[in-house]
Amino acid sequence: MRLLRHLARLAMITTLVGGTAALAAATSAAAAAAPAGPAATQDGWVRIAHLSPEAPAMDIYLYPFGSPGHPTVLRDVSYGNVSAYMAVPPGQYTVAMRGFGAPASSTPALDSSFTVSARTAYTVAALGPDPGLRVAVLKDQMSPPAGKALVRIVQASLKQHRVTVSYGPDILARQLAFGVATSYATVSPGVQTVQFTASGAHTAMPVQLAAGTVHTIVVLDDPSGLKVDALIDAAGSQTIPTGGASTGLGGMASSPAADPAPWLLTMAAGAVLAAAGFAGLRRSRHAAAAGRKL
Amino acid sequence: MCSAVLDCRSAKRGWGTNVSLDNRGSASPALIAGFGSGATRIEVRAAEPGGAAAYESALRADLAARRAAGSQLLRNWHIQFTAPDTGQLRSGQVDSRLLATLATLASQYSFRVATFGDTSPGAPVLSREVSITSAGRGDGTGRLAAALAMVRAQALPYLPAHAAIGHLADGQAALTIEFAAPSPLGLLTPVLEADLQPAPARDRESLVRPAGEGSIR
List, for residues B154-194, the tens digit of each pLDDT value: 988 999 999 999 999 888 999 999 998 888 888 898 776 55
> B92, B60 in Cβ contact below 8 A?
no
Q: In chain A, whose CA is at the least distance from the CA of B193?
A: A139
Which of A293, A283, A194, A281 lies closest to A9, judged by CA? Answer: A281
Count of positions (residues) in chain B:
217
| pTM given for the model | 0.69
Which of B83, B123, B84, B85 lies closest to B102, judged by CA? Answer: B85
Report chain A residues whose CB lies below 8 A from the CB of B63: none
- Sign for the CA dihedral angle at A172, A175, A176, A178 comes to positive
Q: Which residues pair with B134 in a beta bridge?
A: B111
Q: Name which of A47, A61, A94, A174 to mutate to probe chain B: the one with the most chain B Cβ atoms within 10 A of its Cβ.
A: A94
Phi, psi dihedrals of residue A184, rounded to the nearest 5°: -75, 140
- B200 and A115 within 8 Å at the Cβ level: the answer is no
Domain boundaries, chain B: 3-52, 67-178
Q: In chain B, whose CA is at the least distance from the CA of A151?
A: B196
Q: In chain B, whose CA is at the least distance from the CA of A170?
A: B202
- Which of A205-209, A242-246, B63-67 is most confident? B63-67
Output b/e per residue, A254-264; b: 16+ Cβ within 10 A. bebeeeeebee
* A112/B contact by beta carbon, under 8 A: yes
Which candidate from B68, B106, B201 shows the least CB-CB separation from A92?
Answer: B68
Phi, psi dihedrals of residue A176, rounded to the nearest 5°: -70, 130
Q: d(Cα B117, Cα A140) in Å, to the nearest integer?
A: 38
* A110/B contact by beta carbon, under 8 A: yes
Q: If residue B53 lies in a helix (H) or strand (E), which one and from where to where?
A: helix B51-73
What confidence tier does A3 reach under pLDDT thresholds 50, 70, 90? very low
pLDDT of residue B150: 94
- Indicate the residue type of A208: Q
What confidence tier does A286 reach under pLDDT thresholds 50, 70, 90? low
Which of A46, A49, A80, A39 lies closest to A63, judged by CA? Answer: A46
Query: pLDDT of A214-270, one tens digit each?
Result: 988 889 888 888 888 888 887 765 445 544 333 333 333 333 333 444 444 445 555
Could you tell me the fold of the domain covering A143-238? Immunoglobulin-like (2.60.40)
> B40, B13 in Cβ contact below 8 A?
no
Q: What is the DSSP letter of A251?
A: E
Which candidate from B68, B76, B201 shows the least CB-CB separation from A68?
Answer: B76
DSSP string, A122-191: EEEEEES-SSS-EEEEEEEP--PPTT-EEEEEEE--SS-SEEEEEETTEEEEEEEETTEEPPEEEE--EE
- A66 and B149 within 8 Å at the Cβ level: the answer is no
> Cα dist. A63→A60, A73, A108, A214, B157 in Å?
10, 9, 11, 28, 18
Q: In chain A, whose CA is at the least distance from the CA of B205?
A: A174
* A134/B contact by beta carbon, under 8 A: yes
- ipTM metric: 0.73
Report chain A residues whose CB lies below 8 A from the CB of B188: 92, 113-115
CATH of domain A27-140: 2.60.40.10
Which candidate from A110, A127, A174 shows the least CB-CB separation from B158?
Answer: A110
Comparing B158 with B204, the larger pLDDT belongs to B158
- B75 and A141 within 8 Å at the Cβ level: the answer is no
Q: Tell me the residues of chain A between 233 and 272 that have a Cβ less than 8 Å away from chain B.
A: none
- Indicate the residue type of B84: P
> A116, A85 in Cβ contact below 8 A?
no
DSSP string, A76-124: EE-TT-EEPPEEE-SEEEEEEEEETT--TTSPPEEEEEEEEPTT-EEEE
Q: What are the residues whose beta carbons fall under 8 Å from the beta carbon of A216, sequence distance 6 or more?
A: A123, A138, A140, A151, A152, A153, A154, A230, A231, A233
Which of B101, B74, B121 lies closest to B163, judged by CA? Answer: B101
Per DSSP bridges, beta strands B79-80 and B111-117 are: parallel
Count of positions (residues) in chain A:
294
Domain boundaries, chain A: 27-140, 143-238
Q: What distance in Å separates residue B59's CA from the closest CA in chain A?
A: 17
Which of A212, A251, A253, A202 lies closest to A231, judged by CA? Answer: A251
Q: In chain B, whose CA is at the least distance from the CA of A149?
A: B199
Q: d(Cα B26, Cα B10) in Å, to the nearest integer?
A: 14
Which of A84, A112, A86, A85 lies closest to A97, judged by CA? Answer: A112
DSSP string, A27-62: HHHHHHTGGGSTTGGG-EEEEEEE--TTS--EEEEE
- A68 and B107 within 8 Å at the Cβ level: the answer is yes
Which of A53, A79, A34 lies closest to A256, judged by CA? Answer: A34
Report chain A residues whose CB lies below 8 A from the CB of B213: 176, 180-183
Peptide bond into A223 cis (omega under 30): no
> B201, A112 in Cβ contact below 8 A?
no
Which candidate from A91, A107, A125 shows the least CB-CB separation from B72?
Answer: A91
| Percent of chain A topping pLDDT 90 | 10
Query: pLDDT of A106-150, one tens digit each?
Result: 999 888 899 999 989 998 888 877 777 788 888 888 888 888 889
Question: Is there a common fold for A27-140 and A143-238?
Answer: yes
* A172/B contact by beta carbon, under 8 A: yes
